[in-house]
Structure formats: C-alpha cells, structure tokens
Chain A
C-alpha cells in the first residue's frame, strides 16, 4: 500500500505519517507514460456501483443525475490543472475564451478520459441562446455497459461525464451548467449523447467585453 499518499492530508505535524519507503506524493513524478491505461472492465464495475449507490439515495431521475453530476465535478476541477500541467510548456495556456475552453475539453479531457476525442462541438443555432454549446459523443464510454430500463428512459448516466465537464468549466472560471441528453440516431448511434453546456450570463458578457477591447 505504498501508493497511499497518507502524508499530505494529515493536519498536525505530530500526526504526520510517511509511507514506509519514505516517498510521499511530492516525491513522485506527475507525468506518466502514455500507455498506462486502466482496465475498462474494472471501470465499468466501479461505475455501475457508483450509479447504484446514487440510486439508493434519491427519489427521482433528476435527483439521480444531479448526484452523478456532483460525483464528477471534483474530478473535473482537478483534471484541469493536471492536464494543463502535462501539456508541453509552450502550450500551457489557460483557456481564455469559451471556444478555447471547449476545444480543450473536446480534445485533451476526452483523450485523457476515454482515449479518443469527442465527436463534435456545436454552438446552439438558436439566436436566443448564445450561451449554449454542445459537445457530442456518439458512443459514451461510461454508458457502454449500462442499460436503462424503459420506465427511466429519461436517465442518461453520462451525467457523470457532464459533471466532469462542469468541473473543468467552473475551475477555469467559466461557470456553467452541464447536462447530458440522449439523442439516439437510428441504428448507427443508439446511445448518442449531447452534453449541453450552458454558461452563466456573466461569462458571455465577459466574452463580449474582451472581444471588444
């Protein structure tokens, strides 16, 4: 169990415990090799447990999706810094506008989590909603082994991924609401999922202001 970073979270100095090999998280490199992937089977198992855990504690579908969203949120906040750190030094830029941020999510975040980029990025065509953007994934990895019962057809467990996206947005100071919606597309992509990113009005305002100056 030497991988437990037991030292950093213990509050007082007297209570500090260091792993037996003397290596704390601060001694470990934070870059990892590209090939170190995790088993999808174990992820699917853990994820199904997470869904089951959330389901036991809620009344409706909305509440369940909210629970999954919250579970993903803290991951997103941490991923942002980690992935920026792992970028080559030249391109270690904080995303400064909405499009840069969404590209970062579509490419870096998706690549890190699922081993491929998200399929598409769209802006809402509705002129009334300039604050809505869509990240489209034809086949979300988290849903691969999830079958939703008919009476819960509203549910999309990719709400967890939506939470991750929301965490990245919030962390980068682009507060947003992100929700996952199933939009099956015939035989080809029955599980096609749209992540609807709705930024808060002040983000759009700031964007317009920065574009002007």
Chain B
C-alpha cells in the first residue's frame, strides 16, 4: 500500500506534499510507487479537485445516498475518485483548503498480500479504511490549524516546517 498526500490551497495551488507507505501489517513505511507512475500521482490527485468541489457543496444529498445517515463529519468527504488502481480521499477544512490522499493498494497478484485481504487498504472503500483515513486527516487537521495560526502565515502559503512534515509522517505511521 502506497500513499501520496497533498494539501491544496484555495487557488488550487499545492501547499504541501508527502509520500509514504503503509506501516501496518509489517510494512516498512516506504511507498511502492513504480518509477513510471510516480510522476502521475500529482496529475491524478489534482484532477480530482473538480469532483471534490462538486461533492463539498452537494454534500447532504450525496452523503445520504452513500451511507444513509447524517452522522458524517461535514468535512470528510471520504473516497471521492478512482483512477485505475488509485483511490482518492478528500477532506475540506473550514477555510476550503483541501487535503487529498491518494492511496494505491498493492496489486493482489503479489503473493504476500493474498492472505491479508482484511488489512487496512486492501479494500479501499471499506468502512475500516475510511475510518483509518479519517483519523489520519483529523490528526493532520489538528496540526494544520496550528500551522496556519502562525502570525507569519498568510493564506495559501506553502507550509515548509519540518516539524509539520514530521507530524504528518507520524500520523501516517499511526493510522495507515
């Protein structure tokens, strides 16, 4: 399981990006994107922005359709897009900054993963995966609010703090 996480500002400008792999099921936390597709991640992720915008405003309707309840967190949009084997989950902050997570399950043909089909990530749209990603997003959001409360931070500025990066990495290790 490989992940590519990006924070996109209100002008559709990237503010932060981070690539990592799963640490669950004995994963080593390294991403397994092949060289041919790695550079496509950014395209895939940003191409889902249109859908994210559509979903964020028509949220009530779509929310009821999928899960049949109003108990969802209003900012977590769950899995919104799919491009071949790449799934994209989205989270919108109050200030309309979007957290996008691209997750690519390891292809089931590999021998090791055939036994672990219940693991987080093997089934990208299962409730367990959605919950894990939600926890990840909430933790990142926690740190994100702290980052933008910095008096020197202006809206839509790139976040370069190595501490923020380390915190995102820790959240990834913890939940994904």
Chain A positions near chain B (C-beta within 8 angstroms): 5, 7-9, 11, 13, 16, 24-26, 28, 30, 74, 77-78, 80-85, 89, 92-94, 96, 171-173, 206, 210, 213
Interchain CB contact under 8 A, B146 and A172: no
Interchain CB contact under 8 A, A81 and B93: yes
Chain B positions near chain A (C-beta within 8 angstroms): 10, 56-61, 73-75, 92-96, 141-155, 159-164, 167
Query: A8, A83, A172: which contacts B96 (Cβ < 8 A)?
Result: A172
Tell me, rounded to whole Å, the shortest Cβ–Cβ distance linking A10 to chain B: 8
For the complex, give the distance between the alpha carbons of A94 and B76 in Å: 10
Interchain CB contact under 8 A, B164 and A16: no
Interchain CB contact under 8 A, A94 and B75: yes
B72: nearest residue on chain A (CB-CB)?
A: A93
Tell me, rounded to whole Å, the shortest Cβ–Cβ distance linking B158 to chain A: 9
For the complex, give the distance between the alpha carbons of A83 and B94 in Å: 9
In the complex, what residues of A have CB within 8 A of residue B147's CB? 8, 25-26
Interchain CB contact under 8 A, B164 and A8: yes
Interchain CB contact under 8 A, B149 and A25: yes
Query: A26, A83, A93: which contacts B146 (Cβ < 8 A)?
Result: A26
Of A11, A30, A81, most B-chain CB atoms within 10 Å: A81
For the complex, give the distance between the alpha carbons of A170 and B40 in Å: 32
Tell me, rounded to whole Å, the shortest Cβ–Cβ distance linking B172 to chain A: 16
Tell me, rounded to whole Å, the shortest Cβ–Cβ distance linking B171 to chain A: 12
In the complex, what residues of B have CB within 8 A of residue A25's CB? 146-147, 149-150
In the complex, what residues of B have CB within 8 A of residue A96's CB? 57, 59-60, 74
For the complex, give the distance between the alpha carbons of A213 and B54 in Å: 13
